[in-house]
Amino acid sequence: MGQPWGGVDEEKKVYVRLEFSLPGDFSVECYLLAVIAYDHYVAICHPLTYTVHMSRKVRIYLAAGCWVSGFISSMVQVISVTILDFYGPNVVDYFFCDVTPLFKLDYFNVVVVAVAGMGPLTFILVTYVYFMEFRKWENNSGVTEFIIVGLSATNEPQIVLFLMFLIIYLITLIGNMIILTLITSDSRLHSPMYFFLANLSLIDIIFSSVTVPNLLSNLLGMKKTISFSGCITQLYFFQYFVVAECYLLAVMAYDRYVAICYPLNYPIRMNRKVRIQMVIGCWICGFVNSMVQAVSVSRLDYCGPNIVDHFFCDVTPLFKLSCSSTTLSETVFMIVVFFAGMCPLTFILVTYIRIITAILKMRSTAGRRRTFSTCASHFTVVGLYYGSGIFSYIWPTTTYAMNKDVKVVAVLYTIFTPMLNPIIYSLRNREVKAALKKLISRKAVLTK
């Protein structure tokens, strides 16, 4: 095995580090454009309080946040590239070292680009949707903020629950970040299955961050109110990652199906281009769904009461608070549940029926066990996610649903499932354990 080209010439390595900081400039401008969109939103939708919302201190914080985000983006990109071993090829088909040409050498940095680029773009689009909807809404709705009940109606701080959910949240963040780091840094994990798993970890990190921080604040009794725009924004991002994960789980099932049923054609069917297109499709489906849901809910009239009997803003609790007809919005919601929830689930079930059929035809007992073990991890994740999701979104439409039961199940798929995914799907895997040991030993050598 040859020497890594990244370690041959230290001067070239420094050059790569300097040139690769260019994504920081890209990220700064992305976030700055999002801040400008927010400035226009406040000026148009809240003109009387514009000077308060956009005070000098706030402007400085927003601008500083853009620069800090760009710095973090560039540092993540530089670190993720410099810790890799490039054994060849070493030809960068561009006139400087940038992200896109290096994707040909390591395409796992796509997750960083998704956060640095698609996040601000989504925020900008949501902001301008608010522009269009604001004038229609402000004349019909008297509610400017909602009160989030939380897990219970008590106003006393719930320290035990706070500590429990804080620990779960930290385990979620650390576990999924470890998975992302391992998949990015270890070339043995640069396979289609782990590429999809890296995206699942990224979704779980953001997905849990949409609801858990507000829940923690609610449990301490610090703040139980949320503005109308803040509530719709939380609903938007929650629906975004719920649907993105539904489709991603279906893609992961298809990946296992091709690997088991068509092993010889697997590298062709699941080539790099196909994998990236599938992941982009998952994110686009999540974006379309969240836009439809956010617009549908924000067009309703809210005259009071304004108490959301849940621990975050979601579609079904807001339907109960509307003083206008929700028939159209509920119809749209059920259509989305069918296409974004039931269709991927049906695809997963059909796929696993064919996988099980193919496994039972295997002659080797060891091969059957190994294959069943890989599929069992994914199917466990699917069962937890879809089982609790169906209970939360379809069962509440009946008259037998109790709010307390729905909250408990919502905790399962919004908080516990993102924590369990790395444990169920990755940390039991031998390749992941080997990559973790390698990373720890590498860090130990560097610290000496």
DSSP result, 356-368: HHHHHT-S-HHHH
pLDDT digits (tens, 9 = 90+) for 160-192: 889 999 999 999 999 899 888 888 877 788 888
Report the alpha-carbon distance of residue 176 to residue 97 in Å, rounded: 28
Contact 30, 120 (CB under 8 A): yes
Report the alpha-carbon distance of residue 167 to residue 174 in Å, rounded: 10
Of 170, 163, 168, 199, the C-alpha closest to 184 is: 199
What is the chain's length? 448
Q: What does the pLDDT profile of the chain (448 residues) look like in tens digits?
A: 444 444 444 444 433 444 444 445 567 787 788 788 888 878 887 788 888 888 888 888 888 888 877 777 676 666 655 555 555 566 776 666 765 565 554 444 455 455 545 555 565 555 555 554 554 444 455 677 888 888 877 777 788 889 999 999 999 999 899 888 888 877 788 888 889 988 999 999 999 999 999 889 888 877 788 888 888 889 989 999 999 999 999 999 999 899 888 888 888 889 888 898 899 999 988 888 888 888 888 888 888 788 888 888 888 888 888 888 888 888 888 888 888 888 898 999 999 888 888 888 877 777 777 777 767 777 778 888 887 777 776 655 544 444 566 777 888 888 888 888 888 766 567 777 777 777 777 766 666 5
Contact 189, 234 (CB under 8 A): no
The token duo for 183 is 């998949």
Report the alpha-carbon distance of residue 441 to residue 211 in Å, rounded: 36
- Contacting residues for 137 by C-beta, under 8 A, at least 6 apart: 298, 299, 301
Contact 227, 144 (CB under 8 A): yes
pLDDT value of residue 135 = 46
pLDDT value of residue 141 = 57
Of 59, 76, 60, the C-alpha closest to 24 is: 76
pLDDT value of residue 347 = 92
Report the alpha-carbon distance of residue 36 to residue 121 in Å, rounded: 12
Task: Evaluate the CA torsion angle 48, 147, 231, 217 in order and state its sign.
Answer: positive
pLDDT value of residue 225 = 86
Alpha-carbon distances of 56 from 48, 62, 63, 127, 161, rounded to whole Å: 16, 10, 11, 22, 38
pLDDT value of residue 331 = 87
Contact 234, 126 (CB under 8 A): no
Please list, residue by residue across 269-304, b when 16 or more beta carbons sit within 10 angstroms of its beta carbon and e when fewer do.
ebeeeebeebbeebbebbbebbbbbbbbbbbbbbee
Q: How many CB atoms lie within 10 A of CB 268?
A: 10
Query: What value, to the nearest 5°, has the Cα angle with vertex 145 and ends 41 and 391?
Result: 105
Alpha-carbon distances of 232 from 38, 198, 207, 274, 298, rounded to whole Å: 15, 28, 15, 34, 7
Domains and CATH numbers, the chain: 1-123 (no CATH), 140-447 (1.20.1070.10)
pLDDT value of residue 139 = 41
